[in-house]
């Protein structure tokens, strides 16, 4: 049983410290993952809070068929999809919020991704489609297997393999256009 699953079990048994541990372990990564869906750091932070709120209020059961992290990210993805569906009817974001959000997103990225090479890769990923960003983020930055990524993204493993291949090719092309060279992406 991984640390998140153990913490969640303790939370369900009444130990609030278990929830605090879950938030501490997964908050930053979940925020950055959700930024890939909504392209706004403020909204991603809110969706991350909503994900943890869903854990508190609905207390969904964790079956253990996958890692706790992939299960939590799948919940976060569902929260983001619900938000996108709801907000697609009317989107109005003041320009000032977009500028501030981009600035804070960059600060968070810099803290999370320290090496210059990784920052170039991350900037190039912003230009990719949402599915490409998601699959690359989950597999390479979060360390999920193709099976776990398939569960999170609600796709088959074959679709994930194909999507991952196309995403890597697209990212490689973008990085080469910027003059970034690396033997293996």
Contact 80, 59 (CB under 8 A): no
Distance CA 42, CA 36 (A): 12
- Measure the N-to-C terminal CA separation of the chain; round to a whole number of Å: 31
CATH architecture of 1-112: Orthogonal Bundle (1.10)
In the numeric block, which tokens belong to residue 136? Answer: 């690359």
In the numeric block, which tokens belong to residue 87? Answer: 């907000």
Q: Tens-of-pLDDT digits for all 185 residues of the chain?
A: 477 899 999 999 999 899 999 999 999 999 999 998 888 899 999 999 999 999 999 999 998 888 999 999 999 999 999 998 888 765 555 555 545 555 566 665 555 544 566 667 767 888 888 889 889 888 888 889 999 999 999 999 999 999 999 999 998 888 888 776 654 44
In the numeric block, which tokens belong to residue 77? Answer: 């993805």
pLDDT value, residue 112: 53
pLDDT value, residue 85: 86
Distance CA 67, CA 3 (A): 10
Q: How is the chain split into domains, by residue range?
A: 1-112, 116-180
Residue range 116-180 forms a domain whose CATH class is mainly alpha
């Amino acid at each position: 049983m991984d640390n998140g699953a153990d913490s969640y079990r303790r939370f369900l048994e009444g130990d609030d410290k278990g929830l605090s541990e879950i938030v501490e372990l997964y908050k930053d990564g979940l925020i950055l993952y959700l930024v890939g869906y909504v392209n706004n750091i403020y909204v991603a932070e809110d969706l991350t809070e909503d994900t943890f709120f869903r854990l508190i209020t609905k207390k969904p059961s964790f079956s253990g068929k996958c890692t706790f992290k992939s299960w939590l990210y799948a919940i976060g993805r569902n929260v983001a999809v619900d938000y996108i569906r709801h907000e697609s009817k009317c989107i109005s974001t003041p320009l000032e919020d977009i500028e501030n959000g981009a600035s804070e997103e960059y600060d968070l990225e810099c803290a999370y991704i320290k090496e210059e090479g990784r920052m170039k890769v991350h900037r190039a990923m912003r230009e990719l489609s949402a599915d490409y960003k998601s699959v690359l983020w989950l597999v390479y930055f979060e360390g999920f297997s193709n099976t776990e990524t398939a569960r999170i993204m609600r796709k088959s493993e074959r679709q994930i393999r194909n999507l991952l291949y196309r995403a890597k090719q697209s990212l490689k092309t973008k990085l080469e256009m910027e003059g970034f060279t690396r033997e293996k992406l």
